[in-house]
C-alpha cells in the first residue's frame, strides 16, 4: 500500500508516527538527494551528510508539514537550502567527477574529453553565487520547471529566469575564458 501512496499521503502518515511511510520517502528520494547535493557541493561524502540532514529535517518537521504544494518541491527546497548554507560556510571545492553510472560505449579519448568538459563546467559552477548555482542545477540537471524552482528558492518564476539568465551568461564567459587559455 505504501508504494502506491502519493508523497503527500506518505508525509501525512509520517506526521502520525508511521516510520514505514518515512522509509518509503527515503527510498523514493535518496538517490535524487545525493546526486543533487553532490552536483551542488562537489563532494560525495559531504553530499551524503547533506542528504541525511535533509531527511532528518523532513522527519522532524513532519508534524508541521502541510501539503500546500508538491512534496517534491518541499523536498528540493529543504535540500537546496542546506546546500546553500554549506556553500556559504566554506569555499567550494571541486571533485573531478560526480559519480554517475558510466556509459559503456565511449572509448578512452571520449571519456577524457567528457571528463575535462565536466570538470570545467563544475569549476565554472563553483564560481556562481549560491542562488544562481541552485537555479542552474535544479533546471538543467534535475529538470524542474521555473515555477518549481521558484517555490523551492522562495522567489518568483521571473526571478528564476533572471537567475538562470545571469548564471548562463557568467558560465559562458568563464567557459570561453577556459577555452581561450587552452589555445596556448
CATH entry, 103-184, from 1.10.10.10, 1.25.40.20, 1.20.140.10, 3.40.50.300 = 1.10.10.10
Give residue-wise pLDDT tens across range 70-115. 899 999 999 999 999 988 876 544 444 445 544 555 566 666 666 7
Lowest mean pLDDT among 117-126, 158-167, 174-183: 174-183
Taking 80 as the threshold, does the pLDDT of residue 125 lie above it? yes
Residue ranges of domains in the chain: 1-93, 103-184
CA distances from 155 to 126, 127, 143, 144, 145 (A): 22, 21, 18, 14, 13
Contact 130, 85 (CB under 8 A): no
Give residue-wise pLDDT tens across range 36-51. 999 898 888 999 999 9
Q: pTM of whole model > 0.75?
A: no
Q: What topology is assigned to 1-93 in CATH?
A: Rna Polymerase Sigma Factor; Chain: A (1.10.1740)
CA distances from 153 to 19, 58, 93, 147 (A): 28, 17, 23, 10
Taking 90 as the threshold, does the pLDDT of residue 30 lie above it? yes
Contact 42, 126 (CB under 8 A): yes
Amino acid at each position: 500500500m505504501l508504494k502506491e501512496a502519493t508523497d503527500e499521503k506518505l508525509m501525512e502518515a509520517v506526521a502520525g508516527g508511521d516510520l514505514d511511510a518515512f522509509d518509503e520517502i527515503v527510498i523514493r528520494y535518496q538517490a535524487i538527494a545525493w546526486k543533487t547535493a553532490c552536483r551542488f557541493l562537489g563532494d560525495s561524502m559531504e553530499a551524503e551528510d547533506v542528504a541525511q540532514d535533509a531527511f532528518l529535517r523532513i522527519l522532524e518537521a513532519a508534524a508541521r508539514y502541510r501539503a500546500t504544494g508538491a512534496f517534491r518541491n518541499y523536498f528540493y527546497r529543504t535540500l537546496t537550502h542546506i546546500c546553500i548554507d554549506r556553500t556559504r560556510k566554506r569555499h567550494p571545492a571541486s571533485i573531478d567527477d560526480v559519480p554517475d553510472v558510466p556509459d559503456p560505449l565511449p572509448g578512452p579519448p571520449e571519456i577524457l574529453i567528457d571528463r575535462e568538459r565536466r570538470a570545467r563546467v563544475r569549476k565554472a559552477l563553483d564560481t556562481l553565487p549560491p542562488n544562481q548555482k541552485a537555479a542552474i542545477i535544479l533546471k538543467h540537471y534535475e529538470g524542474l520547471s521555473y515555477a518549481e524552482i521558484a517555490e523551492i528558492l522562495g522567489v518568483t518564476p521571473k526571478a528564476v529566469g533572471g537567475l538562470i539568465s545571469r548564471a548562463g551568461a557568467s558560465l559562458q564567459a568563464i567557459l570561453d575564458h577556459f577555452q581561450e587559455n587552452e589555445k596556448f
